[in-house]
Amino acid sequence: MIFPDSIDLHMHSTSSDGTDTPLELLKKVKDAGIGLFSLTDHDAIKGSALISSTRCNSDPAFLTGIECSCKDSNGKYHILGYGYDPSAKAIRALVEKGHAMRMEKLEKRLRFLSETFDIHFPEEEIQRLYHMDNPGKPHLGNLMVKYGYAKTKDLAIQDFLNLDHSSSAYLQPQEAITAIRSSHGIPILAHPIFGSGSQMIRGEELKQRVGRLASFGLLGLEAFYSGFSEDMIEELIELGEHFDMYLTAGSDYHGSNKTVRLGETHLEEAQELPAGMTRFLEDTASRWNS
């Protein structure tokens, strides 16, 4: 089987916290020469479904995607899902639940900014937030910059929004994995070494974390990632071999909300594709463009 020369299976659009619309992203992916891609918006499948229904034969190969924001008593996780059926009840129910939780977080964050820092936004800006698919910290951070409360989006998040430690509801990793698999998709742990914030998880702790998720039905690891060093990638390849898991590659492109470039996965630096990635491509090939 001949695989695409360039692969990027992790990116975001305006359906979550990216700055390109799904169709703008499709054009940029094509212009970048990426042969296979996936749109993995946070807790959303709207953009992925749009690309599936509008792409043409001359466009890059496409795999449906999602990135579920999860948390349980052991920490936070981002679970990617690939090749699912967008019409499946399980994935749709998961998305609806994730969206409701995000809107609840938005309300809490607006209240926190108001009560703690006396930060307020015009009513039309607040209504615009509530009409978004999945508003998050970057949207609030950009608003804080716009109205002079912070110099940069990153500082707004670091110095204000991250100080809110009130409890919020999250999807459980087990329910995300189960919903993805019930929708004929493949659940993959995103950027496994990066935990919450600046947290790094490696060695035995990472092995135990992956093993626990594997017991829930996790099938793979994002081994090639824009923020990973060579030794991190090697550790994940070895971990994938230990658990006999799929491996994937993604940039985590967010448009102007991050400095990451489309296709920035470090996959091109590999001498050859590891077995786990070859198996992933072979086993998902029939789902490309479907």
> Please, which pLDDT band fits residue 222 given cuts at 50, 70 and 90?
very high
Query: Is 188 among the domain residues?
Result: yes
In this prediction the pTM is: 0.92
Considering the domain boundaries, does residue 109 fall inside one?
no
Question: pLDDT by residue (tens digit) across 251-290?
Answer: 999 998 889 999 999 999 988 999 999 999 999 999 998 6
CB count, 10 Å around CB of 30?
Answer: 15
pLDDT of residue 285: 95
Range(s) of the domain holding residue 215: 7-95+169-287
Evaluate whether residue 243 is within a structural domain. yes
pLDDT digits (tens, 9 = 90+) for 42-84: 999 999 999 999 999 899 999 999 999 999 988 999 999 999 9
Instruction: Give the 3-state secondary structure of 155-184.
Output: HHHHHCHHHCCCCCCCECHHHHHHHHHHCC
Residue with tokens 């499709």: 26
What is the total count of domains within the chain? 1
Give the pLDDT score at 13.
95
Give dist(CA 156, CA 161) in Å, integer: 7
**Would residue 102 count as lying in a domain?**
no
* Ordered DSSP codes for 63-113: --EEEEEEEETTEEEEEEEES--TT-HHHHHHHHHHHHHHHHHHHHHHHHH
Residue 51 lies in a domain: yes
Do the domain assignments include residue 120?
Answer: no
% pLDDT > 90, the chain: 82
The CATH number linked to 251 is 3.20.20.140
CA distance 254 to 20: 8
